[in-house]
Chains A and B, each alone.
Chain A
Amino acid sequence: MTGPVALVVNGVPAPATDVPDDERLLDTLRWRLGRKGTKEGCRTGDCGACTVLVDGETTLSCLTLTHEVAGAAITTIEGIADDGLGRRVQSAFAEEDALQCGYCTPGFIVAVTGVLAELGPNATRESILDALQGNLCRCTGYLAIQRAVERVRGGTP
């Protein structure tokens, strides 16, 4: 079967019609709604490239059925800088050159934003890095990514 789904993507209602029952949120975002910032790496939950926020929680869009998140507020990389924290994370990645090929970067920026919001201002560096373990960078630029996280935590603009 197919059916309509009322998503709110980056604060804007994004109704989708005729969404197949087995469609993943990743595909709805990329191919139906044209938000191609969210990347597909593995499609099996292993890499984190497809991370989006669903009602504020980091979520692997490749393992999530679109119909299961009907009505939820979805935040993708395209909307991450609409909010102060997301904007700081995004500029910290730029300042620290925390990307090489850039393929993992949308997933990382969304994940860092979601994790910092979820764990709160008193979270330890270790707990933040633990919560980011599901995001892989094939270019292995992890040190710069860690510096970007530190920059946001330290409040450097």
Chain B
Amino acid sequence: MTFSLERPETVGEAIRILSDPSYAPAVPLAGGTDLLLDVDEGRIPARTVVSLARLPWRTLHWEGDTLVVGATLPFAKLPAEAGVRTRLPGLVDAVEAVGSLALRHRATLGGNLGRAAPASDVLPILLAVGAVVRLVSASGEREVPIGQFVRGSRETSLARAELIESVAIPSAPRSAYVWQRVRPANDVSQVGVAVAWAGAPGAWQVALGGVLPTPVRVAEAEAQLPNDPPTAAEIDLAARAAAAGAAFTTDKRATESYRRRLVSTLVRRGFARAMAAGGVP
């Protein structure tokens, strides 16, 4: 046997086990779709796995215009909730891009953030709309903007024995997430592009996933989009600016030059989709 499993019923108990040296190394378990493979293959050492399944975090509610998604809500529950599809279409695009329906019956948003994968399909839209991660630990609660939360692949600003409790996601009725893969299901996106209108002139936000070790906002592209709705020429400039950015990754899934072409194409598609979602002709 590789690890022992704890199934605490309260947040306090979960944090206590995660901090207790006699359980170390101890790691939290949500859906397990990343963690179990990481533990099996020795990428994450674990003597104790602490299941979050009994914690009261399988939740979803609105705080005014902000959707608050509990860390352990399975992805499959999210698109069906009232209002989510119209108020955050880009989030629904991203969630429905993850794996397969059977995977989404277990995989969670908390787990996706905990893994902080370079090609996560969820992180770009969270960056584009300016989501905030709510954390809890023995020393209390704190909030971290998503851009500061993710530091690298499997690197986050989580302290030891600190947990993601929920994610606060401002609504963006004009938003979209588009992606390209070799195979549509259960494959890693070569590039993912999120675009969102943040509600103020000059406030189109563009974020890329899969091109660098962490998802990034592209200020150079955003600067080309002063108007709402943007003109075709502005979108064209933004697509070029996004593709001209930092040195993109080359790996087994795509070369850097192919990624640049994808970024340019996907930025255009993302705008078309976001404007259709928001009812702009």
A residues engaging B (CB < 8 A)?
A: 1-2, 20-22, 24, 44-46, 48, 51, 54, 57-60, 63-65, 67-68, 111, 114-115, 118, 130-135
Task: Name the A residues within 8 Å of B32 (CB-CB).
Answer: 63-65, 68
Complex partner residue of A58 from B5, B102, B184, CB under 8 angstroms: B102
By the criterion CB–CB under 8 Å, are A134 and B100 in contact? yes
Q: A51-B102, A60-B103 are in contact. Are A67 and B7 (CB under 8 A)?
A: yes
- Taking A64-B106, A68-B29 as known contacts, 12 extra A-B pairs with beta carbons closer than 8 A to each other, sorted by chain A number, are A2-B1, A21-B49, A22-B3, A45-B33, A48-B102, A54-B105, A65-B32, A65-B51, A67-B5, A68-B7, A114-B102, A130-B101
Judge whether B4 is part of the interface by a CB distance below 8 angstroms. yes
Would you call the interface of chain B mostly helix, strand, loop, or mixed?
loop
Judge whether B37 is part of the interface by a CB distance below 8 angstroms. yes
Query: Bound state CA distance, A6 and B50, in angstroms?
Result: 20
A80 CB, nearest partner CB in chain B, Å = 15
Judge whether B185 is part of the interface by a CB distance below 8 angstroms. yes
By the criterion CB–CB under 8 Å, are A134 and B5 in contact? no
By the criterion CB–CB under 8 Å, are A22 and B2 in contact? yes
By the criterion CB–CB under 8 Å, are B102 and A60 in contact? yes
Query: Bound state CA distance, A46 and B103, in angstroms?
Result: 9
Complex partner residue of B103 from A65, A115, A118, A134, CB under 8 angstroms: A134
Judge whether B138 is part of the interface by a CB distance below 8 angstroms. no
By the criterion CB–CB under 8 Å, are A65 and B36 in contact? yes
By the criterion CB–CB under 8 Å, are A134 and B1 in contact? no
Query: Bound state CA distance, A145 and B171, in angstroms?
Result: 39
B residues engaging A (CB < 8 A)?
A: 1-5, 7, 29, 31-33, 36-37, 49, 51, 53, 76, 99-103, 105-106, 184-186
By the criterion CB–CB under 8 Å, are B51 and A134 in contact? no
Query: Bound state CA distance, A115 and B247, in angstroms?
Result: 42
By the criterion CB–CB under 8 Å, are B99 and A21 in contact? no
By the criterion CB–CB under 8 Å, are A1 and B101 in contact? no
Query: Bound state CA distance, A132 and B184, in angstroms?
Result: 11
Q: A58-B101, A134-B102, A134-B103 are in contact. Are A21 and B1 (CB under 8 A)?
A: yes
By the criterion CB–CB under 8 Å, are A20 and B102 in contact? no
A141 CB, nearest partner CB in chain B, Å = 17
6 A-B interface contacts by CB (under 8 A): A45-B103, A51-B102, A57-B102, A68-B32, A133-B186, A135-B100
Task: Name the B residues within 8 Å of A22 (CB-CB).
Answer: 1-3, 5, 49
Task: Name the B residues within 8 Å of A132 (CB-CB).
Answer: 101
Q: A57-B76, A68-B32, A115-B101 are in contact. Are A45 and B186 (CB under 8 A)?
A: yes
By the criterion CB–CB under 8 Å, are A133 and B2 in contact? no
Task: Name the A residues within 8 Å of B100 (CB-CB).
Answer: 48, 131, 133-135
Query: Bound state CA distance, A96 and B145, in angstroms?
Result: 53
Task: Name the A residues within 8 Å of B184 (CB-CB).
Answer: 133
Task: Name the B residues within 8 Å of A67 (CB-CB).
Answer: 5, 7, 51
